[in-house]
Amino acid sequence: MSSVIKVDNLSKIYRLGLISRRTIAEDLNKFWSRITGKENPYLKIGETNVRSVKGKSDYIWALKDISFEVKDGERFGIIGKNGAGKSTLLKILSRVASPTEGKIRIKGRVASLLEVGTGFHPELTGRNNIFLNGSILGMTQKEIKSKFDSIVDFSGVERYIDTPVKRYSSGMYVRLAFAVAAHLEPEILIVDEVLAVGDAEFQKKCLGKMHDVSEKEGRTVLFVSHNLQAIKNLCQKTIILNNGELFASGETEEALKRYNQLNREIKITAETHVNNIKNRRGSGAIRFTGIDVLDDTGNKRFEYELGETVRFKISYRTFKEMQGITLIVALLSGLSRECLTLACYDIVKSKVEPGVTGEAVIEFNDINIKPGEYPLYFELIDNKLNSYSKDVVDDITAPLVIKRNDYAEKKSFDPSKPSGFFETPSRLTLNEIFRESDRIRA
């Protein structure tokens, strides 16, 4: 297959701050560098785009030396954390923005769905916006008229088609915008994370449409999403962006493994996270000083198979007098962040003075839970009933990964009743964990 998109050493630099336009001095320096054949001096001071760290320069590389190739008719995924450079890359490919360095070669007509409502006028009706947006995307009036009924039917907003779109919900916006873009019949369809605001039924419908556009019509699809399952189901190849740089590329299955490993490595090496106030909440009466996930040999590990033993080792320090200490360990859903199951333990039953340090190890034998990834939640509470003296940390360790094995194949799991290696109460939201823990102690 021939290449329809080829990106060579693509880079994009931005200047941070309230005023983005350059000064006369900067323009003169750039001009002098260009006529003398020297490199742009402001490219040398650009920093890697790490959004959580304050840098020393006002210039950051939103993208740095990105190279990849997309074949004709390929379904191509792009994933990465918020701020990794995904949207910047799509804007350059859609010719909304220009690169600072590097080259891109695109063969064929491109239709882009980058943001909710792009190309729509809020005062116009859905009907008028179909003609407006279709014209912007390059469709003729005759072509739009012939496909109008099909567009409206696919969008599912027929009842509101003569209503101004300013009265549409964000989901209805996306329905109509995607329907127009999908019927443009472009050689290349670029879809950003906008589908996330649609309901489950429409997301499934869009993924099916993108699959058909590629499989049956031989068109190319570039798809950006934080929904890894959607990427896995749709895309044949995937690239991973991390802090504006290309972290990995290749077959989707392997790329997703690398992405999950990247997330785990980031959290495992971040030893100071447990002392980072951004990742915790509570009264300050007691604080976690360490959290480790260990196997039965005492080694740090986050991947387990069914039937194995897992240990949670925590250390703490008190800053106020407490009537005893209770530890809560909870397992969360990876997508909705609901509490799937929790366990509550009185690790100290007597009065505890300020300045006391201690450790606790909770061991679970014969893990019995559906294979998957589960974020962990930890909480320390004063044993005094209705006390708000506590410390809560979550999202500071890598998710607990339960891998499928022969034991899992023989075991049947009810999706509506997730079994666990904790005692399993009814499904709870994060806000209800605190009330549930008080009820258990009472």
User: Cα separation of 50 and 85, whole Å?
Assistant: 11
Which tokens go with 244?
């504006």
3-class SS letters over the chain = CCEEEEEEEEEEEEECCCCCCCCHHHHHHHHHHHHCCCCCHHHHCCEECCCCCCCCCCEEEEEEEEEEEEECCCEEEEEECCCCCHHHHHHHHCCCCCCCEEEEEECCCEEEECCCCCCCCCCCEHHHHHHHHHHHCCCCHHHHHHHHHHHHHHHCCHHHCCCEHHHCCHHHHHHHHHHHHHCCCCCEEEECHHHHHCCHHHHHHHHHHHHHHHHCCCCEEEEECCCHHHHHHHCCEEEEEECCEEEEEEEHHHHHHHHHHHHHHHHHHCHHHHHCHHHEEECCCEEEEEEEEECCCCCECCEEECCCCEEEEEEEEECCCECCEEEEEEEECCCCCCEEEEEEEEEECCCECCCCEEEEEEEECCCCCCCEEECEEEEEEECCCCCCCEEEEECCCCCEEEECCHHHHHCCCCCCCCCCCCCCCCCECHHHHHHHHHHHHC
pLDDT of residue 388: 65
Name the pTM for this structure.
Answer: 0.57
pLDDT of residue 269: 44
pLDDT of residue 431: 37
pLDDT of residue 68: 93
pLDDT of residue 434: 38
Contact by Cβ (8 Å): 432, 337: no
Residue labelled with tokens 């604080």: 287
Show pLDDT as tens, one digit a residue, over the chain (442 residues): 678 899 999 988 887 665 545 566 666 776 677 777 776 655 555 556 555 555 556 677 888 889 999 998 899 999 988 888 888 898 898 888 888 888 899 988 887 777 656 678 889 999 999 998 888 877 888 888 999 999 999 888 889 999 998 898 878 888 888 888 778 777 888 888 766 666 777 777 888 888 888 888 888 989 888 888 888 888 899 999 988 889 888 899 888 888 877 766 554 443 434 555 555 677 778 888 888 888 877 788 878 877 777 888 888 888 888 888 888 888 887 666 777 777 788 888 888 888 888 888 887 776 667 777 788 888 888 887 666 668 887 766 667 777 766 554 555 544 444 444 433 333 333 333 334 444 433 3
pLDDT of residue 420: 41
